[in-house]
């Protein structure tokens, strides 16, 4: 795995690299980033280029770090939801209501991971990985664990 980034440094990293990100969008041959910037879409489709250039790799890395940073900025919401869960965790119906009430918050974390994976090339398949300090993400990871356990359960599906 690549470098482990401390969460406290994410804001500085994003701010420091913002101009490079903007410039990379302008010179990139991959127009998905220009479209993303114009319409502020939430989803970026995966790159299908056989071998990616450095701007494209950088832009995807920046985008993924920025997405995680936005989640971390909402950490207090996850802490409060976990506190609510801890009060009702022994009551299955109350937990299902908790899942329903926190669905928007939970769905945002479904694809969240403490490891950012960026595809470098198709053949042979190569990834760049950047890890985030898991001890600094404990509330997000715990919320995700609890939420997904119930959200994908057959019982909740039939609730």
pLDDT band per the 50, 70, 90 thresholds, residue 6: confident
> Exposed, middle or buried, 118 (CB in 10 Å: 0-12/13-18/19+)?
buried
pLDDT band per the 50, 70, 90 thresholds, residue 3: low
Report CA torsion sign: 63, 49, 56, 54. positive
pLDDT score, position 102: 98
Q: Is this model's pTM higher than 0.95 or not?
A: no
pLDDT > 70? residue 42: no
pLDDT > 70? residue 4: no
For residue 127, what are its two tokens?
Answer: 């990834």
27 half-sphere exposure, CB direction, 13 A CA radius: 12
For residue 103, what are its two tokens?
Answer: 């669905």
């Amino acid at each position: 795995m690549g470098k482990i980034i401390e969460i406290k440094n994410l804001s500085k990293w994003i701010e420091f690299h913002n101009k490079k990100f903007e410039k990379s969008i302008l010179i990139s041959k991959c127009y998905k980033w220009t479209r993303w910037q114009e319409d502020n879409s939430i989803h970026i489709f995966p790159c299908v280029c056989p071998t990616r250039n450095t701007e494209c790799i950088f832009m995807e890395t920046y985008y993924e770090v920025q997405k995680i940073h936005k989640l971390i900025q909402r950490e207090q919401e996850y802490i409060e939801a976990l506190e609510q869960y801890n009060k009702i965790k022994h009551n299955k119906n109350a937990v299902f209501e908790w899942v329903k009430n926190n669905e928007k918050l939970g769905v945002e974390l479904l694809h969240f991971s403490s490891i950012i994976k960026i595809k470098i090339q198709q053949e042979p398949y190569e990834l760049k990985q950047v890890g985030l300090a898991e001890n600094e993400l404990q509330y997000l990871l715990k919320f995700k664990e609890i939420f997904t356990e119930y959200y994908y359960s057959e019982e909740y599906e039939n609730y």
